[in-house]
Structure 1
Amino acid sequence: MLRLKSKITAKDLSYILGIRQQSLNETLQKLEKEGYIVRTPSPKDRHVMLISLTEKGNEIKPVLHDCLDVLDEFHERMLNMRNKMGSENFQKMMRHSREMPFDGLFHHPFD
């Protein structure tokens, strides 16, 4: 996921991966200790930490099937949200909300 979005919050990452933030933080601490990721304060809110890959982290070759599983699950979650909200409300939310994961990554992905 960090290859798709170079900086992401732990909250957004836990949502995308479908795991509790506490569990994710344990893993992130290990990855940071090993030098694969860094956490830096967000310029918008110094209390929010942005996670990004280090050079060492970028050198790891992704495991394609794991990435596809995560993306499939994320796609399924988005479809469920769209079904619950209705297409028009969902599209408005995706275009205008600045609090959603992947803000700015997609260019109107659900049109």
Structure 2
Amino acid sequence: MNTSQYHELVDVQWMAIEEGIDESGADIDYETNGNVLTLEFEDRSQIIINRQEPMKEIWLASRSGGFHFGYQDDEWVCSKTGMVFMDMVKQECSKHAGEAVEW
């Protein structure tokens, strides 16, 4: 995958997160600053998602720890847990929000 393809694939994920949060009605603020997407919750906790262009990965940091996602078989998959990126985002959002967050 070249750099342009990488950014296109990550952009799709970030847009899905933003649209999903809006649709869910959950009290989650989000902001993109450079290569970092920050999700902030009512209790001021955060999930930080960032692009790791040199490694062609997405990294996610939350209360549960740090996770690295590589692109495999048309999905972003965690190298530690095998979990699909978007499933982990929803899971971590639910933990931070203290309620089910689904989209």
TM surpasses 0.5: no
Larger radius of gyration: 1
**TM-score if structure 2 supplies the norm length?**
0.28
**TM-score if structure 1 supplies the norm length?**
0.26
Higher-strand-fraction structure: 2
Higher-helix-fraction structure: 1
Structure with bigger RCO (C-alpha 8 Å, 6+ apart): 1
